[in-house]
A = this chain, B = another copy of it.
């Protein structure tokens, strides 16, 4: 029996260009919104004091492959020498079901999440933005920098992490890699008050800042917590925002950022939109002048499926 093809982290990073990632993410949202993809609600469990495990199957009509991403998450991991998020995409032939490939998806998860935020930012943010604010300086934050620069001409990036060494290194590294001015900030508030676009990419379980501090007209991408009890933004920010999510069913089942204000009565079930729906029907909703827009994504299996299908088509099958 052939071993399935393995596409490792290095190949993923080399093969997935930022522009293509954004195109693939947009395609995934549009095809899902048009009813041309299957993305059943993912299933997850949380081991008490251990890993949360998400199993995420998806298929795009007409594709050669069907895939299941399995993501494992434990924010306590860094002290144990494993990343806080690990993911693998298992890729099968969509007709016979036999296994074709396994894609190491730690980087892919960050790249597709960043691409997804870029699609949302391109749709929802003002056309001219000077400052991008990033809270969190991990793998997700890093992946967001080139994706955000692809959709808006930012001249400045402000970054915050609780650890001063992390935020200094993150800013220095951006300054070296991209032609943009990058500065560390010593509080999240300083980032929030000065940015027209925000990226929240942390492991936080509780809101990172007071929602009243976000300037009117700001677009916020929140990509951290995707479990019912955890969130990065408070109910005030949610209730003053045009709220867009990557998946309404998924938001209702597992995004604390949405569920907690809903349970408190601060927003209603009808108060939010799905990104793909707005891409296909752009007039359905738009940010009122001065309103904030908030894109909350917890990660959609169909994005993983589209990215994996693309990668498998790029890597010639080796004989073994």
Contact = CB atoms under 8 A, between A and B. Distances in A.
Nearest to A70: B68
A99 B89 CA distance: 12
**Residue from A40, A53, A86, A93 having most chain B Cβ neighbours under 10 A:** A53
Contacts of A72: 92, 96-98
Nearest to A56: B55
A178 interface: no
Contacts of A59: 45, 47, 53
Majority DSSP secondary structure for residues of A touching B: strand
A74 interface: yes
B51 A40 contact: no
A74 B57 CA distance: 16
Contact of A38 (B40, B45, B55): B45
A100 to B, nearest CB: 11
A12 interface: no
Contact of A96 (B40, B61, B77, B98): B77
Given A45-B57, A45-B58, A55-B57, A77 B50 contact: no
A63 to B, nearest CB: 9
Nearest to A82: B96
B90 A66 contact: no
A186 interface: no
A43 interface: yes
Given A53-B66, A86-B98, 7 more contacts: A45-B57, A52-B97, A53-B59, A74-B96, A82-B98, A86-B99, A88-B90
21 contacts: A43-B43, A45-B57, A45-B58, A45-B66, A47-B95, A50-B95, A50-B96, A51-B66, A53-B59, A55-B55, A68-B68, A70-B90, A74-B95, A77-B97, A80-B95, A80-B96, A86-B97, A86-B98, A86-B99, A88-B90, A88-B99
